């Protein structure tokens, strides 16, 4: 394990610092709260000559992602960052990045989507992009943000993956909160990410690398109609399946150099738990605190943190949940008109055909940056204990911390 340097960084600075160490070829970004510090810091690194990056100050997020697509297609390492409406403006290009198999890395400082306009945290932005074919990692703290912004490149560029990665960090809660972050020396990060390698494809002129190169030209992104589009979508299905297998290896390699091992799904005091809460992001730190308090009070509470949402780790999830009889799915998102919120739907689908499964209830929290307090989490555990006692779920969805509920 290498010597590490303790730094005081907020989540955004952790993204910028990790990206500085990776030294990507192109960064194209547009400022949007709460992501702005990322590109602000990074532009300072560029101005100070600490990176070799071509910094493109684009006129919108649509252009930021388009520029990243062009750069990545040309063989560059391309990075960008955004949030909320910026991510929404990137929408059509997100799908193009993943379908062209471009290993772009993007930090998303999760923020509520307008309208009404709000700049604070929830997961409505990234959850809306869950079907865009990107890998999605959700971080609990600034340390995870730093680590993920390094490992993301290896996930994205893995020969079997070749897909873009979104590193999600909760707006303000993580993006603007300073924490202790253990960082590795530049050369260790540089060695860890290595050089971008290219898969070989069959082009119209024979075998070529999957990148735009005048010496070995290929056509990327041609019109793809009834005859082939469907087959190409299957490629993305398979790539995400493969990603589920190989991201583990990247995490293990990172554990070797950093001493920090991340699992797709991380259980906490679940073995003997009667009730457990599962969720993603910074609020899970608060949940862990509440679990500790409840344990002292004699309540058999546990929690499960999900770090990887796309690809969705079904087997790892079930292993982490184990035999917990009652599971509360806590999330910062509403899928309007749907029977439940996105994470709940994923987990219920994962369990649907199993004979043995936990009783599940869905708890929406923290929309538009509303504080997710220990008291609210206690309310969720209280509700789960009632479900346990009654032996059935009487209310599938609850809105916690909402006035009038």
Partner 1 sequence: MSKERTWRELPKGAVSYRSSRDYKTGDWGVDAPRIDHGKCVKCNLCHMLCPEGCIAVKEDGSPEPNLEYCKGCGICAKECPVKAIEMVRK
Task: Return the structure tokens found at 148.
Answer: 């993920």
Q: 195 or 202: whose CB is closer to partner 1?
A: 202
- Asked whether position 191 contacts partner 1 by CB under 8 A, the answer is no
DSSP string covering 120-159: S--SHHHHHTTTSS-EEEE-SSHHHHHHHHHHHHHHHH-T
Q: Report d(CA 327, CA 265) in Å as an integer.
A: 14
- Asked whether position 222 contacts partner 1 by CB under 8 A, the answer is yes
Number of residues that bind partner 1 (CB under 8 A): 28
Q: 210 or 333: whose CB is closer to partner 1?
A: 210
- Asked whether position 195 contacts partner 1 by CB under 8 A, the answer is no
Interface segment toward partner 1; rule CB under 8 A; list 14-22, 54-62, 214-222, 375-383? 214-222
Binding partner 1 by CB under 8 A: which of 186, 224, 249, 253? 224
Question: What length does the chain have?
Answer: 405
To the nearest whole angstrom, how small is the minimum distance from the Cβ of residue 99 to partner 1? 6
- Asked whether position 234 contacts partner 1 by CB under 8 A, the answer is yes
- Asked whether position 231 contacts partner 1 by CB under 8 A, the answer is yes
DSSP secondary structure code for residue 279 in this structure: E
Residues 352-391 that bind partner 1 (CB under 8 A): none
Q: 224 or 272: whose CB is closer to partner 1?
A: 224
How far separated are the first and last CA of the chain, in Å rounded? Answer: 50
Q: 242 or 274: whose CB is closer to partner 1?
A: 242
DSSP string covering 178-246: EEEEEE--HHHHHHHH------EEEETTEEEESS--TTS----S----TTTHHHHHHHHHHHHHHHHHH
To the nearest whole angstrom, how small is the minimum distance from the Cβ of residue 235 to partner 1? 6
Q: Report d(CA 379, CA 240) in Å as an integer.
A: 36
CB 11 within 8 A of CB 174: yes
The gap from C-alpha 177 to its chain's centroid, in whole angstroms, comes to 18
Binding partner 1 by CB under 8 A: which of 202, 297, 354, 405? 202
- Asked whether position 217 contacts partner 1 by CB under 8 A, the answer is no
Binding partner 1 by CB under 8 A: which of 115, 195, 204, 297? 204
- Asked whether position 44 contacts partner 1 by CB under 8 A, the answer is no
Q: Report d(CA 320, CA 159) in Å as an integer.
A: 28
3-state SS assignment for residue 50: coil
Q: 155 or 275: whose CB is closer to partner 1?
A: 155
- Asked whether position 221 contacts partner 1 by CB under 8 A, the answer is yes
To the nearest whole angstrom, how small is the minimum distance from the Cβ of residue 162 to partner 1? 6
Binding mask 145-164 for partner 1 (x = CB under 8 A): -----------------x--
Residues 45-104 that bind partner 1 (CB under 8 A): 99-102
CB 301 within 8 A of CB 381: yes
Residues 267-306 that bind partner 1 (CB under 8 A): none
Q: Report d(CA 225, CA 367) in Å as an integer.
A: 40
Q: 18 or 210: whose CB is closer to partner 1?
A: 210
For the CA atoms of 371, 383, 340, 365, the dihedral, rounded to the nearest 10 degrees, stands at 0
Residues of this chain that interact with partner 1 (CB under 8 A) are 99-102, 162, 199, 201-205, 208, 210, 218-222, 224, 226-228, 230-232, 234-235, 238
């Amino acid at each position: 394990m290498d010597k590490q340097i303790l730094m005081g960084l907020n989540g955004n600075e952790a993204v910028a610092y990790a990206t500085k160490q990776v030294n990507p070829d192109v960064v194209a970004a547009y400022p949007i709260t709460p992501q702005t510090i990322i590109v602000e810091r990074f532009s300072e690194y560029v101005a100070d000559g600490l990176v070799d990056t071509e910094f493109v100050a684009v006129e919108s997020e649509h252009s930021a992602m388009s520029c990243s697509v062009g750069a990545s297609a040309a063989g560059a390492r391309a990075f960008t960052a955004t949030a909320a409406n910026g991510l929404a403006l990137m929408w059509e290009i997100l799908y193009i990045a993943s379908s062209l198999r471009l290993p772009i890395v993007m930090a998303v400082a999760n923020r509520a989507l307008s309208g009404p306009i709000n700049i604070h945290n929830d997961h409505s932005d990234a959850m809306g992009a869950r079907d865009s074919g990107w890998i999605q990692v959700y971080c609990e703290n600034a340390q995870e943000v730093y680590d993920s912004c390094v490992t993301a490149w290896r996930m994205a560029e893995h020969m079997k993956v070749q897909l873009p990665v979104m590193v999600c960090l909760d707006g303000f809660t993580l993006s603007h909160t300073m924490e202790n972050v253990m960082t590795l020396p530049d050369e260790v990060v540089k060695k860890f990410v290595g050089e971008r390698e290219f898969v070989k494809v069959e082009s119209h002129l024979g075998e070529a690398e999957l990148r735009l190169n005048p010496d070995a030209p290929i056509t990327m992104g041609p019109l793809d109609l009834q005859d082939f589009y469907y087959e190409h979508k299957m490629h993305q299905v398979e790539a995400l399946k493969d990603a589920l297998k190989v991201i583990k290896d990247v995490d293990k390699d990172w554990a070797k150099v950093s001493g920090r091992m991340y699992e797709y799904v991380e259980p906490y005091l679940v073995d003997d738990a009667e009730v457990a809460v599962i969720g993603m992001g910074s609020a899970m730190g608060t949940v862990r605190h509440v679990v500790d308090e409840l344990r002292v009070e004699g309540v058999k509470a546990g929690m499960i943190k999900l770090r990887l949402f796309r690809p969705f780790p079904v087997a790892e999830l079930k292993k982490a949940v184990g035999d917990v009889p009652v599971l509360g799915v806590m999330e910062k998102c509403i899928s309007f008109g749907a029977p439940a919120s996105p994470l709940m739907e994923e987990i219920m689908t994962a369990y649907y055909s199993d004979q043995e499964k936990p009783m599940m209830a869905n708890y929406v929290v923290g929309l538009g940056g509303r504080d997710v307090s220990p008291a609210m989490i206690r309310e969720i555990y209280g509700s789960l204990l009632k479900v346990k006692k009654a032996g059935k779920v009487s209310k599938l969805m609850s809105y916690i911390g909402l006035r009038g509920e």
